[in-house]
Amino acid sequence: MDSIITQVNREDEQLNAFNDKGNVEESVTKTKSKRRIWTQYICCWRQNSLSSRSKNGGGSGSSLDGGLSTQTIGQSAGITCNSSQNRYLLPQVRHSDMHKKCMVIDLDETLVHSSFKPIPNADFIVPVEIDGTIHQVYVLKRPYVDEFLKKMGELYECVLFTASLSKYADPVADLLDQWNVFRARLFRESCVYHGGNYVKDLNKLGRDLQKIVIVDNSPASYIFHPENAVPVKSWFDDTTDTELLELIPLFEKLSKVDSVYTILSSKNGNSNSNLITTLTSSSSIVTSSQQHIEDT
């Protein structure tokens, strides 16, 4: 049953504090060059394939992408192909979001924590069918998640991207997102399975990478694009947690810059974790954010 939900446990989280940074950096170095070569190869192969099918009168009803639900919206930043149409995970940008950056938000241990074991104070109880049997999933909302989502919906084109299965994550998102913040929902089938992990490849979204930020508790999820990431600590049940509240000032600032790299890139002398620590260690920031939420 646990394979339905992709999450870390408390022991994994303790190990991540020591191991994740080195593993991510090493893996990124090894994979970047390989991915460029394969991206160009696949892109050109697809163009030749489409051209061949067009000449032979092939239909347009079959999928080249293994059944993934995607929509064509233009070319991804940093990928050059002859084809004027490529398939991406996200639909065209809504008119109301044209001038917003894209925020990719994880679900488990970032916004909520879920368990198949009964939780007395669960915010949601979601029925999930597994092998013909209905199981109850107990879901806890992270403190300040409502305030966080409402604010991010004002500032960003928000996308839920989880490595969990849709049969669990979709109904949880229905209950969690009461304001229709998520413009799209992406699940495990939209991830890239790499090195034993489900990776969220931002190149597949069809948005300018300079205008994408990913919020996730698992460094393995953004291993291809670490400089687009704002890492958050994994949450399980701490009712005093204020992480989401403390991140609001950072995201307000990010929403106004031309490129997220000007703030997040390690080339500017700040790692993401150090930047967040600096911003969130100030009690005045937390106090002002709490006051803003109370006023609204």
Burial of 98 (0-12, 13-18, 19+ CB in 10 A): exposed
Whether residue 108 lies in the annotated active site? yes
Which DSSP state fits 73?
-
User: Between these two residues, 35 and 61, which has the higher pLDDT value?
Assistant: 35
- Tens-place pLDDT, residues 95-146: 999 999 999 999 999 999 999 999 989 999 999 999 999 999 999 999 999 9
Find the catalytic residue in 12, 108, 131, 170: 108
Is the pLDDT score of 276 beyond 60? no
* Burial zone of 211 (CB within 10 Å; 0-12 exposed, 13-18 middle, 19+ buried): buried
Q: Which is more confidently placed, 179 or 287?
A: 179
Grouping H, G, I as helix, E, B as strand and the rest as coil, residue 256 is: coil
CA–CA separation, 292 vs 252, rounded Å? 13
Alpha-carbon distance 212 to 178, whole Å? 23
Residue 269 DSSP symbol: T
> Which pLDDT score, from 0 to 100, does residue 3 have?
73
Task: Provide the pLDDT for residue 265.
Answer: 83
pLDDT at 88: 95
pLDDT confidence bin for 27, thresholds 50/70/90: very low
Per-residue pLDDT at 203: 97
Question: CA of 103: how far to CAs of 14, 32, 86, 106, in Å?
Answer: 27, 22, 21, 10
pLDDT given for residue 4 in this prediction: 78
pLDDT in the model for residue 76? 34
- Looking at residue 104, its pLDDT comes to 98
49 vs 166, higher pLDDT: 166
88, 206 Cβ separation under 8 angstroms: yes
Q: What is the mean pLDDT of the chain?
A: 76
225, HSE (Cβ side, Cα atoms, 13 Å):
25
Nearest to 71 by CA among 165, 166, 207, 228: 207
pLDDT for 61: 34
Residue predicted with more confidence, 18 or 113: 113
Q: What pLDDT, on a 0 to 100 scale, did the predictor assign at position 40? A: 44
Of the residues 12, 106, 237, 238, which is catalytic?
Answer: 106
If pLDDT is split at 50, 70 and 90, which confidence band does 5 have? confident
Q: pTM of whole model > 0.75?
A: no
Topology annotation, domain 1-296 = Rossmann fold (3.40.50)
Q: Which of 49-63, 109-123, 243-257 has the lowest mean pLDDT?
A: 49-63
pLDDT above 90: residue 254: yes
